[in-house]
Structure 1
Amino acid sequence: MRTVVITGGTDGMGAALARHFLTAGDPVVVIGRSRAKFDALVSALSDPSTAERAEFVAADLSLVTDSRRVVAHLTARYEQIDALVLAASFIRSRRHITTEGHEASWALFFLSKYVLVTGLAKQLRASDRPVVVNTSVPGAKADAIDFDDPELTRGFTFGKSNAQQRRANELLGILATRDNPDLSYVTWGPARLVRSSFAGDVGIGMKLAATILAPLMGQQPADAVRPLIDLIDNPAPGRAAYRGPKLVPLVVGPTDEQDATRLDNLAGTDEKGT
């Protein structure tokens, strides 16, 4: 059995992965905001032993204090974590500041992942075949991060924010595999739209895509995550990027190692300063 930790595991693709691994007999920890959705997910599974292997940890991962609390709970409870799936999502098209003073999208889509990946490094090293799957669509430009203003206090746009988060999560893979060369670190995005409940505060264009296009053209979450299941079942050490089942080239910049270290220093300061 493997211990699988899934953020955003009560909806969409995260919930589909939780159902799969619970059905397969693995202990699964779901990190999310809705206990009711978690209970419904577990009760819908026919195996009565599921409830014994399923754990819910309530957290708002846009808050660094909640991310740190999750790490403290998991490190106290588990000596080994075999798979960490980072799938929590709440899309914002406008800049929003959390109660901690962070830009919400940067906090949710990068800082929380940084806290979890670095904070659970010991538990991942204890696994024979550890894997981190980061559902951050690969392919952002190498220079996408404004290191002088990562929370985009000036000139915020959804496009800039999205590109920064995606690139930061690719660089996080450099930090994670530098610390643990046996780790499989995968940045992954679905091959096409996925039918799921849409959590976000967005404009009319995104709302139309979520409410009209996804039901018409999107794939079911259980179908979308099949490539992820294969990657978790058969992890290969090192970094890789995928769109659906297709391996895609990693973006390589001339200063990746230095940028990863710079990001580590930046994120570590933000995380500790909260």
Structure 2
Amino acid sequence: MVISGGTDGMGAALARHYLTAGDRVTVIGRSRGKFDALVAAVSEEDPSALARSRFIEADLSLVADSRRVVDRLLAHHERIDALVLAASFIRQRRETTAEGHEASWALFFLSKYLLVTGLAPLLRAAERPVIVNTAVPGARADAVDFEDLETARGFTFQRSNMQQRRANELLGILAVDDIPNLAYITWGPARLVRSSFAGDVGPGMRVTAAVLGRLLGQSPEAAVDPVIRIIDAPAPGRAAYRGATELPLGTGDRHGSDAARLAEAVEKSL
């Protein structure tokens, strides 16, 4: 199993679960210290967890780092049974990376595109491959502006967020077309999750998230229960869930043509 964003929140909860279950887990993240603490805690009960865990330090808002992660995984893994895309860092304002990409688009979509397409050979080698993409499903079908993928014109947090979510649904079309036995799940928690808030946001959003998280939020372990069931018994094809509730996915020529158009535009931008 490969988990991006596997040192915090729901990603860390999944890493702990599968290390405890005896699986091999590779975590992609920015904090070696958090990873070491996670593995040490599991190793107290099962010392073999240390040998079954790997860490790749990377900033997935950088295309170069995403490519490096792919190259390392291809070099050191024979297959990937499950790929969980859970890296997150919320930005309310438009920021540009050192590579010139809009930072949220680079983290929440470009990195996922590169991991999904680049790791396809390892997913094909698995008997029942599954990708869980924690991009909340349900964006409008017209949310992607193909002429302005990086929201250079009229950036708002809502517009940026909706575009990323819709693009990740279209990525599922590309993925299952390439790997017919793949289960590609677009998933979001049913309600707030209590976890550390990673992001560059104003005090209002930070305080609201902290207060509501304490009052109404569920633990990361409870939130990922439906994800574990999906990973353990994947069904080929695309699906979308909020918590354990399956949601309808759009179908038809428009969706396929939009997916192809998105791939063409992204390849040009890279």
Aligned position for 1:62: 61
Equivalenced residue count is 268
Structure 2 counterpart of 1:113: 112
Report the Cα distance in structure 2 between the residues aligned to 1:141 and 1:254, rounded to whole angstroms.
16
- Where does 1:230-269 land on structure 2 (aligned, <5 Å)? 230-252=229-251, 255-269=254-268
- Taking the aligned partners of 1:270 and 1:126, their CA distance within structure 2 comes to 29
In the alignment, the residues of structure 2 paired with residue 252 and residue 107 of structure 1 have an alpha-carbon distance, to the nearest angstrom, of 26
- The Cα shift of 1:250 comes to 1.1
Q: How does 1:128-167 map onto structure 2 within 5 Å?
A: 128-167=127-166
Gaps (5+ residues) in structure 1? none
Following superposition, the deviation at residue 266 of structure 1 comes to 1.3
Q: Find the residue that maps to 2:100 and give its secondary structure.
A: coil
Aligned to 1:11: 8
List structure 1 runs of 4+ shifted beyond 6 angstroms: none
Instruction: Name the amino acid aligned to 2:108.
Output: F
Show the counterpart of 1:42. Answer: 39
TM superposition shift of 1:202 = 1.1
Letter in 2 for 1:181: P
Deviation per residue, 1:65-99 (Å, 9 max, x gap): 00000000000001200000000000001000000
Separation in structure 1 between the aligned mates of residue 266 and residue 215 of structure 2, nearest angstrom: 39
Residue 204 (structure 1) shift: 3.0
Q: Percent identity?
A: 68
In the TM superposition, residue 267 of structure 1 has moved relative to its aligned partner by 1.4
Aligned to 1:25: 22
Alpha-carbon distance between aligned partners in 2 of 1:22 and 1:133, rounded to the nearest angstrom: 18
Counterparts of 1:155-194 in structure 2, within 5 Å, are 155-194=154-193
Instruction: Report the TM-score, using the length of structure 2 for normalisation.
Output: 0.98
Q: Which amino acid is 1:11 matched to?
A: D
Structure 2: stretches of 5+ with no match in the other structure: none
SS at 1:255 equivalent: helix
Cα distance in 1 for partners of 2:148, 2:34 equals 37
- Checking the alignment, whether the CA contact within 8 Å between 1:140 and 1:251 is kept in structure 2 is no
Distance in 1 between residues matched to 2:9 and 2:251, nearest whole Å: 31
Contact 1:141/1:251 (8 A) holds in 2? no
The alpha carbon displacement at 1:205 in A equals 3.1
Alpha-carbon offset, residue 251 of structure 1: 3.2
Q: SS at the partner of 2:239?
A: strand
In structure 1, the partner of 2:196 is 197
Q: 2:208 & 2:48 partners in 1: Cα distance? A: 39
Q: State the AA in 2 paired with 1:142.
A: A
**Aligned equivalents of 2:250, 2:225: Cα separation in 1:** 24
Q: Go from structure 1 to structure 2 and tell me whether the alpha carbon gap of 1:166 and 1:253 turns closer, same or farther (over 3 Å shift).
A: farther
Q: Distance in 1 between matches of 2:252 and 2:134?
A: 21
Return the offset for 1:231. 0.4
Q: Which amino acid aligns with 1:78?
A: H
Q: CA RMSD in A?
A: 0.9
Distance 1:10 1:267 in 2: 28
Please give the alpha-carbon distance, in whole angstroms, between the structure 2 residues aligned to 1:215 and 1:12. 14
Q: Does 1:53 align with 2:56?
A: no
1:253/1:91 Cα in 2 relative to 1: closer, same or farther (>3 Å)?
A: farther
Measure the CA separation in 1 of the matches of 2:264 and 2:24.
34
CA deviation after TM superposition for structure 1 residue 254, in Å: 5.2
CA distance in 2, matches of 1:270, 1:28: 32
